[in-house]
A and B are shown apart, each in its own frame.
Chain A
Amino acid sequence: MLFSSIVFIFGFLPIALTGFYLAAKAGRTVAGLWLIAASLVFYGWWNPAFVILLLISVCTNYAVARLILGTESRPRLQSWVTAAGVAFNLAALFYYKYLFAIVGFVSHFVPAVQPIDQIILPLGVSFFSFTQIGYLIDCKAGITRDRNFLNYMLFVTFFPHLIAGPILHNRDIMPQFADHRTYRLSLENLSVGLSIFVIGLVKKAVCADPLSGIVTAGYAHTGGIGALTAWHLAFCYSLQLYFDFSGYSDMAIGLARTMNVRFPQNFNSPYKAQNVIEYWQRWHMTLTKFLTSYLYTPIAMATMRWRIAHRMGVNRAAQQTLGGFTAMLAAPMLITMALAGVWHGSGLTFLIFGLLHGGYLCVNHAIRVFYPGRRSPRLSAAVLRCLATYLSVLVASVFFRAPTVASALDVLTGMAGLHGIQTFPAFGLLHNAFLLVLAGVVWLLPNTQQIMHRYHPVLEDVQAPHPRLLAFGSDLRSALAVGVAAAVGLLALGGTTEFLYFQF
């Protein structure tokens, strides 16, 4: 079920919220059970069979977590149990997401291997697998102590984040589910949550969806694409992806807030970033945190331990040597980003996307390590840094969207002008004005969390918006704005309704 669907908005959500508030009167357990039931209905709406898979995954991971917590006195056994639990999740992910592609690839070279039928990907398998892998590792590290099955079930299945994130950390969320104050009707949280949801709905339905047709058609016919058309296509997709995914994240954050749960921030105006390191601190922030905590840091730490064991330096001076930089920063970064790329999908395009970003990050870190110094504070320099970062991201996004490497290269060679300039795509004045408005929203306006900053919309601290006129408040102006925006969002539901991040 999509957040921006009529069934969800007029059917599921009112029932889920009303049921939650009524169940809360009967206590935490009843309200928690109601939320789990609602989340399973939400998940099973598209394909009820996958609810079984979700339940198997949740129950197995919970059992493994209990084993991990129960073997604290036997570290070696605990490590093996943790590894088995992580392997279980990775195996499920591998089976549903990569097996078909890998067998297909191998069958090209090994005649004995027959291609298999496409396996239907369960919604959100990447998200709930990552969430649970993090939980198991945290159990092993002693970070997680909550053994309550209800809290765990809610943590994994809570419908606002279940199928497309944000990727939650148990330390942030399980205490909220353990708190009895979560299970009540708070009109303030309801109004704040619905307001955030409405902003997300507008981003998705009004800003992202109208670009869907252009992007789909454009990437279906990339042969000989001219420069202006290629740039237009890449630009449209970068806007579509941002508004689609950040809109989805806003909706998820808003929905959780209506049930008194606060989510972490997932987007912080990423296209305003002035370098690629900052970009990843602003784009899909929960994925970045996950990858940093559970992949990059362990790899970097292992490398450092190895270097220490071999009497090699690990300090700043060592990082400023080519070998030290490569071992301690570049290699962990490239591995992490390559895996981040294939986490999004099994195609070669995703691997290239990840490696490109890994390369950008390495260059960025190299500048930071080898040429330390203050950045110019001038506005023109900041604009140039922002532009350079956006262009780098734009190039990588072509691989992210293109169905094949060949079509991505078509678009990129088109952008380089190798297929000629051509005339500007004939989409008319209205379309171009629309793109201009979207660009203004992306680069000039505050983001949702900044607009809502008075109400602490996310777990992190958020800056006040500039201009302050755009700050949301409990006043008539905001109430009318939210009402009109809700109506506009609902009216815009007639177009495409397909969240891009569902496929991951």
Chain B
Amino acid sequence: MTLSPRSFLLIATLAAGSVLAGAWAYTSAMRMRFLETGYPIWVAKQTILHRCDFGSVLVLGDSRAEAAIVPTPLPLRAANITFGGTTPIETYFFAREAMKCPQPPRLVIYSHSMPAFLRPGQGLWKTAARYGYIHFADLREVAAMADAIHDESFASLNTSDGLTGVVRDITYAAGFPSIFVPSLVEARAIGRYETNRMLLERTASTRGRVIYPQPADK
């Protein structure tokens, strides 16, 4: 059957749209099945944060604190909401969320290594935004602040996807499926569920303390 150019374009667009919509739905709903081991750790810690379940002591920072500070033996109820590879930018948003809780922490331990203060990292998009814990408004807030203080390091930061500026913020905040494709391929789409589920439970039980390296990605 010969199609008119109009029908051809319509069918091709519908086919492309259907595949993209399917991929978008899968990557939004099934992240535990294919994302790398960082994801369940983030989910476990962010759940503690969202439930305001950190107790009296809140630990914020990067991987050093993540490995070094063990909340469970402490005499006070504590939670380690640190994330490897993060900078003070991400931590600022987590601290802000914690401060909105009805019972803010009595003590905050804040630990970032020096280089993290000097420049933003790709993790802001590749991890925090991609995992769904930094939103479009947050990214724009950082960009506006960087503009206001004439800090060009934020705007000039190139992520390996080739994206920059507001387009990058939209892409990551919206969870456009292309940003998940490398993980989908590595995980053969579903191959990481068991490992991720185990890590989620373990991180929740240790109140956020994580020692690297984690079990190898499958």
Contacts and interface: CB of A to CB of B under 8 A. Distances in A.
A72 interface: no
Interface of B: 1-9, 11-20, 23, 160-163, 167, 171, 176-182, 185
Given A6-B176, A7-B167, A475-B1, A480 B181 contact: no
Contact of B181 (A11, A483, A491): A491
A488 interface: yes
A486 B171 contact: no
A490 interface: yes
A494 B11 contact: no
Contact of A476 (B1, B20, B176, B177): B1
Chief secondary structure at chain B's binding surface: helix
Nearest to B177: A491
A497 B159 CA distance: 10
A497 B19 contact: no
B20 A487 contact: yes
A27 B211 CA distance: 67
Given A5-B162, A187-B5, A483-B13, A494 B19 contact: no
Given A476-B11, A487-B23, A495-B161, A191 B5 contact: yes
7 contacts: A5-B162, A476-B1, A476-B11, A478-B8, A482-B16, A483-B19, A495-B181
Which of A430, A487, A494, A497 lies at the interface centre, i.e. has the most chain B CB atoms within 10 A of its CB?
A494
Given A474-B8, A491-B178, A11 B16 contact: no
A488 B19 contact: yes
Contact of B5 (A474, A483, A495): A474
A146 interface: no
Contacts of B20: 487, 490-491
How many of chain A's residues touch chain B, expressed as a range? Answer: 20 to 34
A488 B180 CA distance: 13
Contacts of B177: 491
Contact of B8 (A7, A479, A484): A479
Contacts of B1: 475-476
Which of A11, A188, A473, A479 lies at the interface centre, i.e. has the most chain B CB atoms within 10 A of its CB?
A479
B16 A483 contact: yes
A445 interface: no
Given A476-B11, A488-B19, A6 B163 contact: yes
A485 B160 CA distance: 23
A157 B179 CA distance: 33
5 closest A-B pairs by CB: A483-B15, A487-B19, A497-B162, A187-B5, A479-B11
A483 B161 contact: no
A492 interface: yes
Given A191-B5, A474-B2, A495-B161, A479 B178 contact: no
Contact of A190 (B9, B16, B162, B167): B9
A495 B19 contact: no
B11 A483 contact: yes
B101 to A, nearest CB: 35
Nearest to A493: B178
Contacts of A488: 19
A480 B3 CA distance: 12
A486 B162 contact: no
B185 to A, nearest CB: 8
Contact of A490 (B5, B16, B162): B16
A430 B218 CA distance: 13
A2 interface: yes
Which of A195, A487, A495, A498 lies at the interface centre, i.e. has the most chain B CB atoms within 10 A of its CB?
A487
A255 interface: no
Given A487-B17, A491-B19, 5 more contacts: A190-B9, A480-B15, A483-B16, A484-B19, A496-B162
Given A6-B171, A494-B161, A479 B15 contact: yes
Contacts of B171: 6
A488 B9 CA distance: 17
A194 B178 contact: no
Which of B14, B15, B171 lies at the interface centre, i.e. has the most chain A CB atoms within 10 A of its CB?
B15
B182 A495 contact: yes
A193 B73 CA distance: 65
Contacts of B4: 187, 474
Contacts of B162: 2, 5, 496-498
Contacts of A478: 8
B9 A484 contact: no
Contacts of A190: 5, 9
A494 B185 CA distance: 12
Nearest to B2: A474
A494 B19 CA distance: 16
A493 B23 CA distance: 13
